[in-house]
Structure 1
Amino acid sequence: MLEWINSLVDRLQPNYLRPEDLERLPENAYVPTLSDLVIPSLVAASCLVVVRHVLDRVVVAPIGAYFGFNTKITDGLTENPILEKEYSKCKTPNSDTILILKKKCELTEREISKWFRKRRRNDKVTDIKKLQDASWHFMFYLIMSWYGLFILWDKPWFKKSINCWVDWPAQSVSNDIYWYYLIELGFYLSAVYMLFTDHKRKDFTEFIIHHVVTIFLLVLSFSYNLLRAGTLVLCIHDQVDYLLAMAKIAIYCKKPLIADTLFVLFILVWIITRLGIYPYVILYSVYIDLPVYARELGPYVEMYDTCTLMKFVKGALLVLQILHLIWTGLIVKSAAAKFTAGKIQDARSDNEESEMEVDDKIEENGNCKTLDTDGLCQ
């Protein structure tokens, strides 16, 4: 069964190597085979999901509980199919809707308002959940950033990007590079799974698009033996993500000075890697080095450089740089807000505290009748 699946997977991989290319490879050299990535990456993703849950329960949750992180938002929410159906349409019903629900459910207006308030709180992300998310990303990106530097340090293409294309596409792949790709792909596959099984995020759509595109590019680059350029892209991007996760942890732990310091360090590393190293190394390599090298080797390699698929890869890398510029603008805006407002917030936490305060006022006001669409007392 497994062999049959692998044979189907291998049929999806283009036959980009000629017999003369294979002859140029060293004895026992390994070239990427798609079946060596697909099923192993699913296994790696499953293992990472298990590791994530174990760390959440055994390590992060006890530490969070020790430091006083709340594990629940509210208790005592009574199941009500009618209210639940209305909640799926609107989380803050207006006065007319509440009057209709009052007749259907035989509840008072205050009881209906209280049910919706508790239901909204149940949808919120608890402090311990935020800590678990940030801790997982911190641990993974920290390990992979240093692992990437460790395995690439002595590689010729790490010091000079033109070596990404020397002997391409007949390039042998070492075990450390293969495992680097496998673990990274497994991580993004597990991230997609956890987006659907974890709490609902406000940025769910953005993350799905990002993860799916990343998975597609990883598989595509593996299929065409573009691992040298691919490992550089991974290494460059991993250097900054753990700093952001660590800054979030500091925010959740109410350590503003540490959070501010990490945020400034994050901005510096972001600018160096995303606006400096990435365009200078990656974009220069694919847009300048590769065409020159392909023309020198002749029509066969030049065909791959000018094919539709390679144009797509080049376009995707360019779009990524455009996203870097957009994200840089948002980061700078966040930094400016810090100096004006004096507070950095996790985007996923926006308006949580304000809504909590409104809900508490509703609870205290016995004469409050309904909620408008902004969650304010009428």
Structure 2
Amino acid sequence: MAKPRKTNAKSTKRPTPPPTSEQKRLRRKDPSVVPSAPYLLASKLLDVACDAPVLHTVCPPNGWRSAVGEWGVFPHGKLSHSYDSYFGGDVDRDVTYEDFMRAAPVSSRTSNQLQATLGNYYKFAFQTSSTTLCDLTNPFALCVLCALVLMIRIFKKMFMPKFSSLGKRLGRAAHGPDWENGNQDRIVKFGEYVYRLIYHSCVSAYGLWYFRDKSWWNNDMGGTKNLWMLHPNHPVEPGMAWYYLVQCAYNVDALLSLILLSFTVEWVCPVTYSSACYFLGKDCCIGDMKQTRYNQIRSSGQKPQCDSEIILQTPLLLLKWSPTVRGDFREMMAHHIITNLLILGSSYFRFTRIGSMIFLVHDLSELPIELSKLFNFVKWKVASAVSFSIMLVMWVVARLGIFPFLIFRSLLLESYEFLVVQGTMDPAFYSMHVVPFTYLLGGLISLHIMWFFILLRIGWTLVSKGEAHDYSEHKDGEDQTDKKTR
């Protein structure tokens, strides 16, 4: 059985020597049964779900793998593997709260050992390295993550209306008393700008302080080679675990907010479903009449009688594009999906060091973006131009410089050497797990390049017209949905 991780963050354990060729041959796995990274991540979430009290009675007694026949039979079944079973004794088990309490000195325990004290929870969460909090697919970490997402949504519910109210007053002062009548969307977005500025300022300040002495940021200490050395057993300090939890909570909330902003759901009475289908087919471009009705609307300049285009039509509900859907929906949805997959995957496969570098690079480059939007909102032209110039420089340095040429380069050129050649990872496992991360990060870099050209367009507007334009504020919501339904 794998041993629990040591609770001391600064371990003096010497690095294990590179494995011999015979050791590599003995641990080499059959590539035909090596599970893919997306499968292992999904299987871990299924394991967690089946262990939950509510779903435990629904899942098969011997686990969900017993229901898939030969595919679930270990070791040759394609669905039989898990991350722990694949690595075996090469992976140190994360410290659970029970492990922590067993290792705690007797003098520090309370008289009632059945009840955990707040002091013990604090020491476990904030003073113990490599706990179950560092794996976001762990049930305990998932509960903490859900609590953080709820706290973020409560904070936004309480303070974003106040931020928007401030934007309304500033808008009146900058644009005139009648300005707010047709700019409610911009007033709401002002609150979002302030919220994102506060968040990125806080996490950037923490990141600069926390990572100031980390070896993977210091070339004199080995630089990016430390991203891969001793993987997957390098310690995850409490500061790193909470940094990941907060970042994941923010990105999960951003994805939820985008979905709620872009879609609406209407419940349909099954009794009136056939009449509703005729109405939707005639007036809302659904079914066989869609293309004919769409051409009629385009030629006459009319609009459909329904509020928005239908995406999904069932006897119980209608899924529609919301009137508040924004012009950059597709780019932001792709960005949030890729980001959340990278966060969960990097946490599960213990690539938290490279993940933390990507977080910090993105957070620092977000600050001038939000400042530029705020200055443009209140028509501070000089401040807007200065912040926009800083934004372009930060974007080029951080997202088009450090990210691809330092972080992504290390993934391409250094990871195989230290994970496979000098490490304990099997080549087949590397190709099935590290390579998918390479494609996801490559997709993220592609989005950055595309957004850079959008920023150049905004810069040209700023130079030629004296004010910048946020391309996510399009009032052509109909055009956006038209493109999606064609």
Whether the TM-score (by the shorter chain) exceeds 0.5 is yes
State the shift of 1:71 in Å: 11
Residue aligned with 2:382, SS: helix
> Is it true that 1:22 corresponds to 2:122 in the alignment?
no
State the shift of 1:128 in Å: 2.0
The structure with higher relative contact order (CA 8 Å, sep 6+) is: 1
Which of 393, 412, 416 is the equivalent residue of 1:287?
Answer: 412
Which of 220, 223, 228 is the equivalent residue of 2:348?
Answer: 223
Residue in structure 2 matched with residue 115 of structure 1 by the alignment:
none
Give the superposed CA RMSD: 3.2
> Is it true that 1:316 corresponds to 2:440 in the alignment?
yes
Residue aligned with 1:22, SS: coil
> Is it true that 1:328 corresponds to 2:387 in the alignment?
no
Aligned letter for 1:38?
L
Residues in 2 aligned to 1:259 and 1:322: alpha-carbon distance in whole angstroms = 27
Taking the TM superposition and a 5 Å limit, the aligned residue runs for 1:14-163 are 14-15=83-84, 17-22=87-92, 29-30=129-130, 32-33=134-135, 34-35=137-138, 36-57=140-161, 59-69=162-172, 125-159=184-218, 160-163=223-226
Aligned letter for 1:30?
S
**Which ranges of structure 2 fall in alignment gaps of 5 or more residues?**
1-47, 57-62, 65-80, 96-102, 104-127, 262-323, 477-486
Residues in 1 aligned to 2:49 and 2:437: alpha-carbon distance in whole angstroms = 30
Residues in 2 aligned to 1:341 and 1:64: alpha-carbon distance in whole angstroms = 22
Residues in 2 aligned to 1:126 and 1:306: alpha-carbon distance in whole angstroms = 47
State the shift of 1:321 in Å: 2.0
State the shift of 1:322 in Å: 2.4
Aligned letter for 1:167?
L
Residues in 2 aligned to 1:273 and 1:53: alpha-carbon distance in whole angstroms = 32
Residue in structure 2 matched with residue 82 of structure 1 by the alignment:
none
> Is it true that 1:274 corresponds to 2:399 in the alignment?
yes
Residues in 1 aligned to 2:329 and 2:450: alpha-carbon distance in whole angstroms = 19
Number of aligned residue pairs: 300
Aligned letter for 1:56?
M
Residues in 2 aligned to 1:145 and 1:237: alpha-carbon distance in whole angstroms = 9
> Is 1:275–1:325's contact at 8 Å kept on the other side of the alignment?
yes
Q: Structure 1 length normalisation: TM-score?
A: 0.70
Residues in 1 aligned to 2:417 and 2:50: alpha-carbon distance in whole angstroms = 40
**Which ranges of structure 1 fall in alignment gaps of 5 or more residues?**
75-120, 353-378
Residues in 2 aligned to 1:175 and 1:71: alpha-carbon distance in whole angstroms = 51
Instruction: Give deviations 1:262-304, integer Å, cap 9, x for gaps.
Output: 0000001111111211122211211111111134325x31437
Aligned letter for 1:311?
V
State the shift of 1:190 in Å: 1.0
Aligned letter for 1:48?
I
> Is 2:458–2:468's contact at 8 Å kept on the other side of the alignment?
yes
Residues in 1 aligned to 2:167 and 2:456: alpha-carbon distance in whole angstroms = 31
Residue aligned with 1:301, SS: coil
> Is 1:29–1:172's contact at 8 Å kept on the other side of the alignment?
yes
Instruction: Give deviations 1:93-136, integer Å, cap 9, x for gaps.
Output: xxxxxxxxxxxxxxxxxxxxxxxxxxxx6xx7433212101111
> Is 2:186–2:473's contact at 8 Å kept on the other side of the alignment?
no
> Is 2:164–2:189's contact at 8 Å kept on the other side of the alignment?
no
Aligned letter for 1:340?
S
> Is 1:72–1:126's contact at 8 Å kept on the other side of the alignment?
no
Change (3 A) 1:339 1:46: same
State the shift of 1:227 in Å: 0.1
